[in-house]
Amino acid sequence: MIVRRLAYAGPLVALLLACTFFALQSPRFLTGANLSLVLQQVMVVGVLAIGQTLVILTGGIDLACGMIMALGSITMSLLAVKHGWHPAVAIAGGMSVTTLAGMVNGLLVTRIKLPPFIVTLGTMNIAFAVTQLVSRAQTFTDLPPLLTWLGHGVRMGNTPIAYGALAMLLLYGFAFVLLRETAAGRHVYAVGNNLESARLAGINTNRLLLSVYMLSGLCAGVAALLSIARTGVGDPQSGQTENLDTVTAVVLGGTSLFGGRGIVVGSLVGALIVGVFRNGLTLMGVSSVYQILVTGVLVILAVATDQWSRKS
């Protein structure tokens, strides 16, 4: 038990080591403003990774989350800019669309019993195509202020903290409590460990899986709003690499790809590890290709660690 607890601390130690290293390399790294910037840079992937963690904990995978996010951000900006809806209603509209997309994933997985990998591979392409069609592949600019509000923030001394980053931290806190303290949260682990025995133990596995995929869709909706806030535009080309970025974050955070094991806060640490390397290497003047290289190495290390600790 103690070993397992420590295993969860592994990613955090890795993050702290990386931070120490970059702090020694560049005087600009360890400033409040820079660390807040990193937090802001990972908020989109971070929020998507919450949904991804839930899905992976049940033994599934959501390859569509990035594209569903793009669909959500286009829906929001289209409704607000082109149709002149009130921004708040447009945001609600976008989130409904992404949650609905998550529901479609969940229904296909639970009712038609298709493997999540295939289902979300399909809906990923569908969401991309619909995004392009609906937006006519055009970027939306001049968005109402409410849509980009999360990109603004409060100042704590010299450190600006984006509302979006705070929202992400809040969502992680919420997900942490949900998984740890509620029956539904424990059921997520149970389903991931063994679907059949979870069902025999009286858990309504279909309903649970459906809600997990819907929650992932809702996370994509929040991420859509964050993505708009970060870039200031509704971009139909966004979200193309986010699906695997979230899987990277989840795996780096120590959650097992086989389901049933992991903690959601680890995924935030995973996303931060990628963000810290990207930021730190740029500050050092090292080409961004190395960031991708390091991420690759870390992912393999993280999964290998998971495998080894399973055997022991």
Partner 1 sequence: MRIPALLRLPPRRLLALAFPWFVACSPKGDEKPVIGLITKTASNPFFVKMKEGAEQAAAAQGATLIAAAGRSDGDNAGQVTAIENLMAAGAKAILISASDSKAIVPAIKKARDAGILVIALDSPTDPVDATDALFATDNYKAGQLIGQYAKARLGATPAKIATLDLIPGHPTGAQRHNGFLSGFGLPSYEKTRNELAQPPEVVCMTDAMGDQAKGQTAMENCLQAHPDINVVYTVNEPSAAGAFNALKNAGKEKGVLIVSVDGSCRGVQNVVDGALTATAQQYPLRMAELGVEAAMTFIKTATKASGYVDTGVQLIAKDTVAGVASLGAEKALGLCWGDK
Closer to partner 1 by Cβ: residue 204 or 282:
282
312 binds partner 1 (CB under 8 A): yes
**Does 204 sit near partner 1 (CB under 8 A)?**
no
Shortest gap between Cβ of 134 and partner 1 (angstroms)?
13
Residue type for position 276 = V
Is 285 one of the binding residues for partner 1 (CB under 8 A)?
yes
Nearer to partner 1, 92 or 283 (CB): 283
Closer residue to partner 1, CB minimum distance, 3 or 112: 3
Query: Contact at 8 Å (CB) between 235 and 75?
Result: no
Distance CA 298, CA 195 (A): 30
Distance in Å, CB of 144 to partner 1, minimum:
14
Of the candidates 286, 226, 283, 280, the residue with the CA atom closest to the CA atom of residue 15: 280
Restricted to residues 44-83, the positions that interact with partner 1 (CB under 8 A) are 44
CB of 272 to partner 1, least distance (A): 14
**CA 25/CA 19 separation, integer angstroms:** 10
DSSP letter string over 179-245? HHHSHHHHHHHHHHH-HHHHHHTT--HHHHHHHHHHHHHHHHHHHHHHHHHHHSSB-TTTTSSHHHH
Say which residues have a Cβ less than 8 Å from residue 216's Cβ, sequence separation at least 6: 51, 52, 54, 55, 62, 65, 102, 105
Over the window 222 to 251, marking each residue x when it contacts partner 1 by CB under 8 A and - when it does not, the resulting string is: -----x--xxxx-x-xx-xx----------
User: Which of residues 28 and 199 has its CB atom nearest to partner 1 in the complex?
Assistant: 28
Restricted to residues 116-175, the positions that interact with partner 1 (CB under 8 A) are: 136-139, 141
d(CA 65, CA 240): 10
Residue 236's CB: how many other CB atoms inside 10 A?
A: 23
Binding site for partner 1 (CB under 8 A): 2-3, 6-7, 10-11, 13-14, 17-18, 21, 25-28, 33-34, 37, 40-41, 44, 136-139, 141, 227, 230-233, 235, 237-238, 240-241, 278-279, 282-289, 292, 294, 297-298, 301-302, 305, 308-309, 312
